[in-house]
Amino acid sequence: MVLLLSISTIFLSLIVSVSAILPDGRVHGNVPRRPLGPPITAKDALVKDFQGQTLAPLDTVYYFDQLIDHTNPSLGTFQQRYWASSQYYKPGGAIVLYTPGEENAEQYTGYLTDATINGQIAKQENAATIVLEHRFYGQSTPYGNLKESSLKYHTIQQAIDDLEYFANNVVLPFSGGDSVKPVSQAPWILIGGSYSGALVGWTMPNLFQAGYASSAVVESIVDFWGYFDVIRQFMPHNCSADIQAVINHVDQVFTSGNTSQILSLKANWGMQDVTHLDDVAGALRNNLWTWQELSPGSGPGAAFFDFCDALEVKNGVSAPAAGWGLNYALAAWGNYWKNGYLNQLCGGSNAGNCLSTYNSNNPYYSNTTLGNDQRSWEWIVCNQVGMFQDGAPTNHATIVTRLVQPSSDERQCTYYFPETFSQPRAPDITATNVVYGGWNATVNHLFTANGQRDPWRDTTVSADGSNAVSTPEQPIAVGDGFHCSDLFTYYGQIDPTIRAVQNQALSSIRTWIAEFQPSEKRSLRSAREQE
């Protein structure tokens, strides 16, 4: 039985929050996650192969003995979880490998199916599909905790080495799964989205025959104010105009020293208990981070649109493009917060505790328990990629406060990881971009897909400041989607620009896989040509 999911079921499963809700309710938006995959029910999980043989359920967990440290194999191995399906596989076919990156992978078994681009490619190439959990996320952690002594083995390079070691050594759980080694036996296709999309290009050379990178955040940036600038460009103009007016007013008042005006503004949002003014202003980003939840199928009821409606719809009438102006927008935004949003954000806890970034003793900074994926990502952020989402420079329009700068995020790194960061310091993004190429990396047979409305777009090769050029060997395709929209079959059905991206990818990958020759055959052919 081929897996079939109703379009409505798939659609509902994709409208999920991708900003990180910390244990006390505070939201932090620096996690570039792709949307969760379609849900797999007990019935859906029962699939058959091309011969009609019933396969293990799609949610079956398999384990691979992964090296703890690829520079020192003597440290031993840990159990890395993965999921696999041979429902589309035929002997001689390809292998599609996907990792969701910075999150528990058990939520991504839908990526084994043709509800995603993974499955579309697998059906075209008679391929098996795999979802591999990234080290230090979910349950795939060497030492069962997220202490700094353990996290020293959590680096981008170790993750790259994991993918390579897995591909070269795994025995897949289906007939013939011991004879599909990359290069020498079968073509492998690496797929990822967002951070894991960047991993695709960084891992591919010399091992994978083809790659598909969706919304790949390849350029590490410390002061990533461009995140909110994409939102400013594509959000409703009336909402953008009013938010800019309010934020400019907030920054002016909070730097003026006028105590009565400052207290009045704090009370406007119910944040009288929040001590630091940059925390008050910075908390307003939470409404804008919900943009990352949007998809081509989003409509009324989406959190971002509800927020803008609260500011721009007055007595059933929408504001003109210029908005209603400062006074109305300020009051409307305050009412939105005090009449439900603040309680939703903080779970009923005190706003001073919930929204403060200055309390180094807050438990979420020291939570080292297995499964705290936010902490694992913060380790990579603080050490290697940055991507701190703050206000734009003074010579550029902004929809978030300029009072919050990367120094605030760097200070919090010392709370998360005091043994590693005795003093605030910027992540070493120069090393990351030099080693992996950033916007300028050249990788043959890498297909890159991006969305115009993706807030992470300025870290991708489709950034406004990037000079990356699309070529037949390294195509770059851009649709009208949001973050990783092109990973989903359904979004291609409702948005022709996304479907065009998917079709182009399928065509490119078909060509690249057709070029594959096992290394033994290549060696034999080379020897014959030399005779």
State the DSSP string of 101-121.
Answer: -SS-GGGGGGGGSTTBHHHHH
In angstroms, the CA 480 to CA 501 distance is: 10
**What confidence category does residue 465 fall into, taking pLDDT thresholds of 50, 70 and 90?**
confident
pLDDT, position 380: 97
pLDDT higher for 530 or 454? 454
% helix, strand, coil for the chain, step of 5: 40, 15, 45
> Are 283 and 271 in contact, with CB atoms under 8 Å apart?
yes
Question: Which two structure tokens, joined as six digits, stand for 300?
Answer: 């009324």
Look at residue 492 and tell me whether its pLDDT is greater than 80. yes
Look at residue 499 and tell me whether its pLDDT is greater than 70. yes
Bridge partners for 447 per DSSP: 212
Look at residue 256 and tell me whether its pLDDT is greater than 90. yes
Bridge partners for 191 per DSSP: 98, 212
Phi/psi at 34 (5° precision): -90, 160
How many angstroms separate the first and last alpha carbons of the chain? 51
Of 16-30, 53-67, 101-115, 245-259, the least confident: 16-30
**What confidence category does residue 35 fall into, taking pLDDT thresholds of 50, 70 and 90?**
low
**What confidence category does residue 51 fall into, taking pLDDT thresholds of 50, 70 and 90?**
confident
Catalytic residue among 85, 194, 462, 508: 194
> Are 321 and 238 in contact, with CB atoms under 8 Å apart?
yes
Look at residue 496 and tell me whether its pLDDT is greater than 90. yes
In angstroms, the CA 454 to CA 483 distance is: 5
Tell me if residue 281 falls in helix, strand or coil: helix
pLDDT in tens, 131-185: 999 999 999 999 999 999 999 999 999 999 999 999 999 999 999 999 999 999 9
In angstroms, the CA 293 to CA 36 distance is: 11
Alpha carbon of residue 171 to chain centroid: 29
Prediction pTM value: 0.91
Mean pLDDT of the chain: 90
The answer for residues whose C-beta is within 8 angstroms of residue 369's C-beta and 6 or more apart is 145, 146
List where CATH 3.40.50.1820 sits in the chain.
61-220+437-515
Taking CA atoms, 418 is separated from 143, 366, 380, in Å, by 20, 10, 15
24 is catalytic: no
The answer for residues whose C-beta is within 8 angstroms of residue 264's C-beta and 6 or more apart is none
Alpha carbon of residue 329 to chain centroid: 31
Tell me if residue 193 falls in helix, strand or coil: strand
Topology of domain 61-220+437-515 in CATH is Rossmann fold (3.40.50)
Alpha carbon of residue 434 to chain centroid: 22
What is the DSSP code (8-state) at residue 182? Answer: B
In angstroms, the CA 429 to CA 413 distance is: 15
> Is residue 422 packed enough to be buried (19+ CB in 10 Å), middle (13-18) or exposed (0-12)?
exposed
Taking CA atoms, 7 is separated from 12, 297, 411, 487, 492, in Å, by 9, 11, 45, 15, 12
Question: Which two structure tokens, joined as six digits, stand for 264?
Answer: 């009045």
Q: Is the backbone of residue 109 left (phi > 0), alpha (psi -120 to 50) or beta?
A: alpha
Look at residue 324 and tell me whether its pLDDT is greater than 60. yes
59 is catalytic: no
**What confidence category does residue 5 fall into, taking pLDDT thresholds of 50, 70 and 90?**
very low
Taking CA atoms, 426 is separated from 27, 159, 381, in Å, by 22, 22, 10
> Are 322 and 35 in contact, with CB atoms under 8 Å apart?
no
Catalytic residue among 24, 373, 454, 486: 454
pLDDT, position 241: 98
